[in-house]
A and B are shown apart, each in its own frame.
Chain A
Amino acid sequence: MKENVNQHTPMASPYVQPQPGYGQQPAFAPLDGGCPPPYAPYNGPMSAYQPGVPPQGYSSFTTFPSKAVPANPVSELSSPLDLGHGRAPPTSGPAPVSAPQVYNQYGGHHQGDMQNGPPPLTQAPPRPVASQSFNQGAANLSGPPTSYPQNYGPPPTMQHFSSQMSGLQINSGPPNAAGPGYASPHSSQPPVSRSFSAAPPPTYTQAPPPASSAPTQGPPAVSQQYYGGPPPPSHSFLHPTSQQQFTSPAPPPPSNQPSFAPPPAYSAPPPGQAPSPSVSQPQQSFAPTQPPTSIQYPPTSAPSGQYPGPLPPQQQPSFPSGPLPPRPQMPPSSMSQSNHLPPGPQGPLGPPGPPQQMPPPQPGMPGGYPPHQNGAFGPARGPQPGLMGPYPGQPNYGAPGPAPGSAPGSAPPAQKRLDPDAIPSPIQVIEDDKAKSAEPFSTGVRGQAPPLVTTDFHVQDQGNASPRFIRCTAYNMPCTADMAKQSQVPLAAVIKPLATLPPDEVPPYLVDHGEGGPIRCNRCKAYMCPYMQFIEGGRRFQCGFCTCVTEVPPHYFQHLDHTGKRVDFYDRPELSLGSYEFLATVDYCKNNKVPQPPAFIFFIDVSYNAVKSGMVKIVCQELKTLLDQLPRENPDLDSAVRVGFVTYNKVLHFYNVKSSLAQPQMLVVSDVSEMFVPLLDGFLVNVGESRQVIESLLDHIPEMFADTRETETVFGPVIQAGLEALKAADCSGKLFVFHTSLPIAEAPGKLKNREDKKLIGSDKEKSLFQPQVGFYNTLAKECVAQGCCVDLFLFPNQYVDVATLAVVPVSTGGSVYKYTYFQAQSDQERFLNDLRRDVQKPMGFDAVMRVRTSTGIRATDFFGSFYMSNTTDVELAGLDCDKAVTVEFKHDDKLSEETGALMQCAVLYTNCSGQRRLRVHNMAVNCCSQLSDLYRNCETDTIINFLSKYAFRGILNNPTKAVRDTLVNQCAQILACYRKNCASPSSAGQLILPECMKLLPVYLNCVLKSDLLLPAADVSLDDRAYLRQLISCMDVSETHVFFYPRLLPLMKLESGSLPVAVRASEERLSKGGVYLLETGLHLFLWVGANAQQELLLNIFGTSNFGQIDASMTCLPVLDNPFSLRLREMIDSFRAQRSRYMKLVVVKQEDRSELIFRHFLMEDKSASGGASYVDFLCHMHKEIRQLLS
């Protein structure tokens, strides 16, 4: 133990120090793990938390570091293991066994993966380094680190793509090797874990052997096994990445210069290192390739050679043979391999462990990068090329001959076409992430990237907000503005303050600080949170954001324990959790008055179209039952929400539904030029009291207007009416507007039809996204001031100018729903489900959100559905559980690596029973001074979320083309910066992508191809405006599936798990299959023309393809397991999304297939969007241009 610790210490220490408070938490985490519901106990005793034990453990750790001294690996091993057990019994259990093996094979990392123990992770990273330097040690270290992998995992992996000329070959490798050992571990781990699970132990064992024994040989063997083994193409591909990481770790140490120093070490260890790299390779199929590899090696090495002197050494370490200068060859075939190698770069791990010799080199810099070089070790890669061939999936790769490749015609080295299988696959990444996220994700570790949004995971709040509330683009923020600028990686967070948590996670606790209100920092007004440091025996606290010291109010005083922590630490959510709620006092209320419960007002368009389409009838019918489902705090009580009703065409009809009336009264306001509310008493009523009258009203409305011939409508006055009503009632609330047509009647906010196809694509196109008149902006402002949120349900048969009509909903935190050509029969279900959900969903009213950050960065820009009257306060008339706000941060000073970057998002809102509350989410991320760290700890999905919102706002003011170019440029810069600063030097023709951004191109391409930026001919202006506002408040998981739809093959369904998705490309569709495609907005069931009859019978009840009715919107209810499961799946998909997805059955070669194809994002789009492969080439070209 101790020894290990010591070794690690250097590494660990940095982590620990920065987050004193934090450190503890993580430490506890494991323990806590035992008691999942940490807070549950709050009410009572907090036994669960108490486990004072953790502290001890922790302390022990800290102490160790100091003592740190090289120790026997063995001893270390044992000790670490013990620790692991102690903390995370469950994980440890399995770990022990595997661990040893792992160690042998890959060094600590693997093990780390195996063992999930999070806390130790920090230490782990360093180990990798160590491992390099000391084979044994490394292994040992890895043991403990196991946990790390999980935490840090993702970042490290990288992929390299090398391309010659036009052709691209792609390798995914963990170039950065996540220099930071952490990163690498992750990537590596995942694979490892998989390999474990998937592959029988033997593989591992084998792998290890090589490592331990002769690196070179070892690898091959391993690889062989893999190849020969099961790994399907895709898998193989993935593995590479993961493997790469592994491998990288070993080699990485060699950062260019620094590495040199190490080189010697390496040279010695080469075997050790080699092993690791080799290992990775092996998996990929090194063995077979080796021969070729060797040949190629020279090339790779050559490049390295080209690099500053230093390189050579590295090469040497990696492959003595390095000789193969012939670079040219390398690129093509080797590319892929090289990637793998790069992983080797794990070396970067070193950084953390600067103290040691080994580490120094790594940290040295871009230690991570060096790794690339390592990867470059061409040598290693060399082999890969060869590997390529062997890979099932990779056939495309350069190495034509060798690769039996699935991509048959795999071109020769200089291919022009890329095999789609060879480029990073979103599906693979998603699956990999799923595989490695079996354990709950605990938020106690700063700067730890959460699992992907596509992964189903459990969250334990240990001091930072759950990723369900906040996701960041980067969990390692650059310390300086220069770095940030250089990298171009957007620094942003996607915050979904009222996100719904799964039933097994505890919603934020409610904290009441009494009459004085929440305790806050005197200067920056940050709310009490885990980042507040109590000093002077607890009499004061220092703000983590602005460092100001504030007195602790007497009633809040509490003694500190010997670690400087308040004794009631575990009793108080605001001290120990990332998310919680304060009960706001009257000071936080508008006009210093306790707010009234909110009100819902329903505005139903009763013009000719609305009546004819059946909308009016449906709404009225539905409201009768829906009104019983209004949101409420306590499910046993009636909702406090009051309701009101208005119908309108070009005049408004208010209804008095006071309970004392025998029949409802209709009040017609025909003076729409100056809207007012004609009644107060009886307009907003309690459903329970006025039920009779309301029902009578809802029965009458459709009758009354059944014969209407009025076709004109107003819109502005409708919202004004709602606003006035809320003003009169002195409450906040939500308006549900059911509207059908362009408001052309004479009234404020009157619009004209301005749809002009000729403008599409021109410089004037942007004006079409801007509101036609300023009226609605002003109105929106007033609505926000009153806390009047507007939800708009549109039922247009033609252009309604969504861009203008949506202004108010968007500014007030409302939603827009659009049902074009609404037909009662086919669209009723979708509409009603949306309506039900919209009415019932929990939401806050009259909200203000403020994001505070630690000194050094600042929230500068906000995206979403809200209004801002100044630069800091996000005003939301309404905020529901589905709304996310994306916040961009900019530096205004330096950040420190020690303290990291803190942010606190506080949302003050009125809940559905009229209680004023403050929800606080805290988030801390790491800061880095190395670009490689940044690139290792990013989340592509979040970046895409940000970029898309940024771009879609951009089209308001810029031509679409300019927006597209900007996107491509930024993306190219991000990748180029990586390539330039973090990746190992390699041929310019090589495309190297950071592991955690390897999907950036494909996703970005999806954004570029979206209807907004590249509209197809049949996409109306309204559709685009609708999407624009829709995306502006999407969270990460929604944007993810929106841009890259989920395509599931339905050939086989198992209960309990979903089939593995396939990539969204027509090539992946089998004529004989049936597929389900989900975008979050649409749901398609694609039926292949030759689909098996049994399948059809199971799904549709008919085995005849021709008899399938493509107009069905729900599947027939059949009593067979397949049908059951399929419908269950569809239901669960619908439940996941904030909007109901109407099922569209698409028969292959039907006309409707065109629409379906539109969502196959990897293909060329009908409107001219590039295919994934083409775009990747393009991106590569851009990057090369930037680099040159």
Chain B
Amino acid sequence: MATFPEYIAQNEERDGVRFSWNVWPSSRLEATRMVVPVAALFTPLKERPDLPPIQYEPVLCSRATCRAVLNPLCQVDYRAKLWACNFCYQRNQFPPSYSGISEVNQPAELLPQFSTIEYVVQRGPQMPLVFLYVVDTCMEEEDLQALKESLQMSLSLLPPTALVGLITFGRIVHVHELGCEGISKSYVFKGTKDLSAKQLQEMLGLAKPAASSQARGSQAPQQPQYNRCGALALRGNVADQILWRVLASRFLQPVQKVDMNLTDLLGELQRDSWPVVQGKRPLRSLGVAMSIAVGLLECTFPNTGARIMTFIGGPATHGPGMVVGDELKTPIRSWHDIEKGNAKFMKKAAKHYESLASRASASGHVMDIYACALDQTGLLEMKCCANNTGGYMVMADSFNTSLFKQTFQRVFSKDVQGAFKMAFAAALEVKTSREVKVSGAIGPCVSLNAKGPCVSENEIGCGGTCQWKMCGLDPSTTLALYFEVVNQHNAPIPQGGRGALQFVTQYQHASGQRRIRVTTIARNWADAQTQIQSIAASFDQEAAAILMARLAVYRAETEEGPDVLRWLDRQLIRLCQKFGDYHKDDPNSFRFSETFSLYPQFMFHLRRSPFLQVFNNSPDESSYYRHQFNRQELTQALIMIQPVLYAYSFQGPPEPVLLDSSSILPDRILLMDTFFQILIYHGETVSQWRKAGYQEMAGYENFRHLLQAPVDDAQELLHSRFPMPRYIDTEHGGSQARFLLSKVNPSQTHNNMYTWGQESGAPILTDDVSLQVFMDHLKKLAVSSAA
């Protein structure tokens, strides 16, 4: 049998799932004593180029409360053409199309290697992709120009049938009508008035046919189309929708049709022309613009994949959703203000964006936020827009940076089949076998409030449901799902019984197809009292660290900060107590098995990370970091918690080194990847050499190569990551070196560097405790009998 690490890797590879425990304690009581809950990181759209989509629909369990999908774990009676649901034990007849089934002629979904399988739904219309650009015009000319170019470029990346729309805003919100000849036309809205979907519908002339025949009358150019659809309208809802789309087509048109027009339109886009008095911020009606975008799609393309891509060059200063007044002298809220309750716009704004996010997610639309400004833009308030809808949140200093340009371009990257690496309007349903229930999920999703037998009463994260909606997801989008073992202690599980989970993800593929991906997983049960060793051995400390971190971040977002750290510490201590090997009250005797050995270190770095520490971060940055952390897959998330540090020197090939101040040596070049930043740090000596220009001199090619090596590696990272990290090239004593110094373990500080002997390194000017101190304390507390 493969080792656990291999098993874990294999599972991750095949199903995109990593569990904190790969053997589950068999009773509720034992499970709670494990400290780290049974939980999973699940990447629903894990890229599986090898997985052929099945061109038929899944077979469902006939029990109304179950509806589980036929899977390899089901028992099949080939003769009776029956299958037993492994979740509810219902016996089901195979559908007629399975009449030919036999042991040798099994459908794919019964093959073990297809524990993850993807079906293509054949019914229903092909859905177009919808991209609605919401563009801020209150920005510097250069920025706007760069943004315009990016947008124009993006048009060429869109599939020709994709629908595009354009909304621009400054003080006023413009909804541009596309494809107008002679005169470009836009509908304009005041930035101070939020409109309900219905109002908006009327004002845009999108009212239902019955509502106002005259409204239609005024759409002179649309007349012929309308007549054609008028007949369709009689056929009920679907036709209704189509009609709306026709009406909406003034605002959302296929790229192939309006390519030129839209390019011109973007080209003519001017900075917001309303004068900005000195000492004031430009009035930016972001809140209403987003509301209109949501409203427009809401009534025209409900439950159809659509992206609202919002590009903002500054904070909303006008109307609902404003996060700061227009007086420059009052700065935008800081954490300090928030703690003191001085952020007077925050709550109201957050509420506004929350309601938008819930509207958008209700109709399955994604909201992206591309915020490029030197100062904050209100991401804190708007975070739920991206978080709840699975949208992207991108933060940069300017639209005129490669950071933005590359990132934006990468949004439209395609997979080997040539489809966008994005999926829309997905719903994830979790089915569990009887012994387990689902407590909740943390990630870019919202609850669908689906109650069922699998739903635990104990909520963790976004709970109380067994279905979640993810309006937008990409291959790396990862949810943390938390489970609860509900089996009672006195109801032993039959030998060989396994706990099973099934993840059913329905989504709209970038090609417009609706697809269903089903992942079915089973884990062994173990009695914690007798088989604690095997449970401990099944511990996945990386997954556990991320799962706990998500929980902590979730708490940090919804509760007060300090408590989270204390909670985190207590959990760690309890884990140590439970699984450590020690003598009571003897810290030195403390030993941790290999499967747990890295966990405390992760926790140490997590405590210092921007996800939990707001010091030195603006509220927007915190929101941004947390947003990324909550959606990225395990590896990336780990990097975020504990950055990776590589050292380049003449001593040997590049090697990973400890994230420790002791790694900072004069003759080294360090490459640090924090996920958000790629930093190259030249040690003191190296940097002197570089300044002296040795790399240019003949005979010092090796030095040149040494300098080049980290740069090449960095480029590789830069090119593969979304969003693109900030690239920093610095040296010993450089101001940007602070990014490095703030991440490494401060093993040497101004307090202890002389006591630490001659070992060279870079002292860090901080009062933070170092990992060693942290571990010492941890051990002490773990073995303490008082705890």
Binding site for B on A (CB under 8 A): 649-651, 653-655, 661-671, 674, 676, 678-682, 696-697, 700, 703-712
Whether A661 contacts B268 by the Cβ 8 Å rule is yes
Measured between alpha carbons, how far is A706 from B187 in the docked complex, in Å?
20
Whether B183 contacts A705 by the Cβ 8 Å rule is no
Whether A678 contacts B188 by the Cβ 8 Å rule is yes
18 new A-B pairs (CB below 8 Å) besides A666-B180, A670-B203, A703-B182? A651-B218, A662-B268, A665-B183, A665-B268, A666-B185, A667-B174, A667-B185, A668-B188, A669-B187, A670-B187, A670-B205, A671-B189, A680-B273, A681-B274, A700-B182, A709-B214, A709-B217, A710-B218
B190 (CB) vs chain A CBs: closest residue:
A676
Whether B273 contacts A668 by the Cβ 8 Å rule is no
User: Within 8 Å CB of A682, what residues of B?
Assistant: 273
Whether A705 contacts B220 by the Cβ 8 Å rule is yes
Whether B188 contacts A663 by the Cβ 8 Å rule is no
Binding site for A on B (CB under 8 A): 172, 174, 177, 180, 182-190, 193, 195, 199, 202-205, 214, 217-218, 220, 223, 264, 268, 270, 273-275
Whether B174 contacts A671 by the Cβ 8 Å rule is no
Measured between alpha carbons, how far is A710 from B199 in the docked complex, in Å?
19
Whether B186 contacts A668 by the Cβ 8 Å rule is yes
CB distance from A864 to the nearest CB of B (A): 36
A-B CB contact pairs (8 Å), 22 listed: A650-B214, A661-B268, A662-B264, A663-B184, A664-B183, A666-B184, A667-B186, A668-B177, A669-B187, A669-B189, A671-B190, A678-B188, A680-B274, A700-B182, A703-B182, A705-B220, A708-B218, A709-B218, A709-B220, A710-B214, A711-B217, A712-B214
A705 (CB) vs chain B CBs: closest residue:
B220
B220 (CB) vs chain A CBs: closest residue:
A707
Measured between alpha carbons, how far is A671 from B188 in the docked complex, in Å?
8
User: Within 8 Å CB of B183, what residues of A?
Assistant: 655, 663-666, 696-697, 700, 704
Measured between alpha carbons, how far is A661 from B184 in the docked complex, in Å?
10
Whether B182 contacts A708 by the Cβ 8 Å rule is no
Measured between alpha carbons, how far is A604 from B551 in the docked complex, in Å?
61
Measured between alpha carbons, how far is A661 from B186 in the docked complex, in Å?
15
Tell which of A654, A706, A707, A709 touches B188, judged by Cβ atoms closer than 8 Å: A654
Whether B217 contacts A667 by the Cβ 8 Å rule is no
By CB atoms of chain B within 10 A, which of A649, A664, A668, A709 has the most?
A: A668
User: Within 8 Å CB of B275, what residues of A?
Assistant: 680
Contacts between the two chains (Cβ within 8 Å), count = 93
Given contacts A671-B203, A696-B182, contact A704 B188 (CB under 8 A): no
Whether B220 contacts A651 by the Cβ 8 Å rule is no
CB distance from B399 to the nearest CB of A (A): 22
The 8 closest A-B pairs by CB, nearest first: A709-B217, A681-B273, A670-B203, A678-B188, A710-B218, A707-B220, A666-B185, A668-B187
Tell which of B180, B188, B195 touches A669, judged by Cβ atoms closer than 8 Å: B188
CB distance from B45 to the nearest CB of A (A): 40
User: Within 8 Å CB of A710, what residues of B?
Assistant: 214, 217-218
User: Within 8 Å CB of A696, what residues of B?
Assistant: 182-183
Tell which of B174, B184, B204, B218 touches A678, judged by Cβ atoms closer than 8 Å: B174
Measured between alpha carbons, how far is A686 from B199 in the docked complex, in Å?
36
CB distance from A972 to the nearest CB of B (A): 56
A693 (CB) vs chain B CBs: closest residue:
B183
CB distance from A73 to the nearest CB of B (A): 82
Measured between alpha carbons, how far is A651 from B177 in the docked complex, in Å?
15
Whether A665 contacts B185 by the Cβ 8 Å rule is yes
Measured between alpha carbons, how far is A682 from B272 in the docked complex, in Å?
11
Given contacts A671-B193, A679-B172, contact A666 B186 (CB under 8 A): yes
Measured between alpha carbons, how far is A671 from B194 in the docked complex, in Å?
11
Tell which of B185, B188, B199, B217 touches A708, judged by Cβ atoms closer than 8 Å: B217
Whether A674 contacts B193 by the Cβ 8 Å rule is yes
Measured between alpha carbons, how far is A666 from B188 in the docked complex, in Å?
10
Measured between alpha carbons, how far is A697 from B187 in the docked complex, in Å?
17
A699 (CB) vs chain B CBs: closest residue:
B182
Given contacts A710-B214, A710-B218, contact A676 B273 (CB under 8 A): no
Whether B172 contacts A676 by the Cβ 8 Å rule is yes
By CB atoms of chain A within 10 A, which of B193, B204, B270 has the most?
A: B270
Measured between alpha carbons, how far is A707 from B220 in the docked complex, in Å?
6
User: Within 8 Å CB of A662, what residues of B?
Assistant: 264, 268
Measured between alpha carbons, how far is A676 from B214 in the docked complex, in Å?
24
Whether A651 contacts B203 by the Cβ 8 Å rule is yes
B199 (CB) vs chain A CBs: closest residue:
A671
User: Within 8 Å CB of B199, what residues of A?
Assistant: 671
User: Within 8 Å CB of B174, what residues of A?
Assistant: 667, 678
User: Within 8 Å CB of B177, what residues of A?
Assistant: 668
CB distance from A42 to the nearest CB of B (A): 43
Whether B172 contacts A707 by the Cβ 8 Å rule is no
Measured between alpha carbons, how far is A501 from B187 in the docked complex, in Å?
48
User: Within 8 Å CB of B214, what residues of A?
Assistant: 650, 709-712
Measured between alpha carbons, how far is A688 from B182 in the docked complex, in Å?
21
Measured between alpha carbons, how far is A678 from B188 in the docked complex, in Å?
6
Measured between alpha carbons, how far is A732 from B264 in the docked complex, in Å?
35
A654 (CB) vs chain B CBs: closest residue:
B188
Tell which of B204, B223, B264 touches A670, judged by Cβ atoms closer than 8 Å: B204
B186 (CB) vs chain A CBs: closest residue:
A667
User: Within 8 Å CB of B186, what residues of A?
Assistant: 665-668
CB distance from B679 to the nearest CB of A (A): 44
User: Within 8 Å CB of B273, what residues of A?
Assistant: 679-682
Given contacts A665-B185, A671-B195, contact A707 B223 (CB under 8 A): yes
B275 (CB) vs chain A CBs: closest residue:
A680
User: Within 8 Å CB of B184, what residues of A?
Assistant: 663-666
User: Within 8 Å CB of A649, what residues of B?
Assistant: 218
User: Within 8 Å CB of A670, what residues of B?
Assistant: 187, 202-205
Measured between alpha carbons, how far is A669 from B175 in the docked complex, in Å?
10
Tell which of B182, B195, B205, B217 touches A663, judged by Cβ atoms closer than 8 Å: B182
B193 (CB) vs chain A CBs: closest residue:
A674
User: Within 8 Å CB of B204, what residues of A?
Assistant: 670
Measured between alpha carbons, how far is A704 from B204 in the docked complex, in Å?
17
User: Within 8 Å CB of A661, what residues of B?
Assistant: 268
Whether B172 contacts A678 by the Cβ 8 Å rule is yes
A701 (CB) vs chain B CBs: closest residue:
B183
CB distance from B56 to the nearest CB of A (A): 47
CB distance from B139 to the nearest CB of A (A): 16
Measured between alpha carbons, how far is A704 from B174 in the docked complex, in Å?
20
CB distance from A1139 to the nearest CB of B (A): 34
User: Within 8 Å CB of B172, what residues of A?
Assistant: 676, 678-679
Measured between alpha carbons, how far is A649 from B214 in the docked complex, in Å?
11
Measured between alpha carbons, how far is A682 from B270 in the docked complex, in Å?
11
B216 (CB) vs chain A CBs: closest residue:
A709
CB distance from B190 to the nearest CB of A (A): 5
User: Within 8 Å CB of A679, what residues of B?
Assistant: 172, 188, 273
Measured between alpha carbons, how far is A663 from B182 in the docked complex, in Å?
6
Measured between alpha carbons, how far is A253 from B182 in the docked complex, in Å?
85
B188 (CB) vs chain A CBs: closest residue:
A678
Measured between alpha carbons, how far is A474 from B275 in the docked complex, in Å?
55
User: Within 8 Å CB of B187, what residues of A?
Assistant: 667-670
Measured between alpha carbons, how far is A159 from B193 in the docked complex, in Å?
71
User: Within 8 Å CB of B205, what residues of A?
Assistant: 670
User: Within 8 Å CB of A678, what residues of B?
Assistant: 172, 174, 188
CB distance from A345 to the nearest CB of B (A): 73
User: Within 8 Å CB of B264, what residues of A?
Assistant: 662
User: Within 8 Å CB of A663, what residues of B?
Assistant: 182-184
Whether A668 contacts B185 by the Cβ 8 Å rule is yes
User: Within 8 Å CB of B189, what residues of A?
Assistant: 669, 671
User: Within 8 Å CB of B217, what residues of A?
Assistant: 708-711
CB distance from B226 to the nearest CB of A (A): 11
Measured between alpha carbons, how far is A661 from B205 in the docked complex, in Å?
27
Measured between alpha carbons, how far is A1151 from B77 in the docked complex, in Å?
101
Measured between alpha carbons, how far is A671 from B204 in the docked complex, in Å?
9
User: Within 8 Å CB of B190, what residues of A?
Assistant: 671, 674, 676
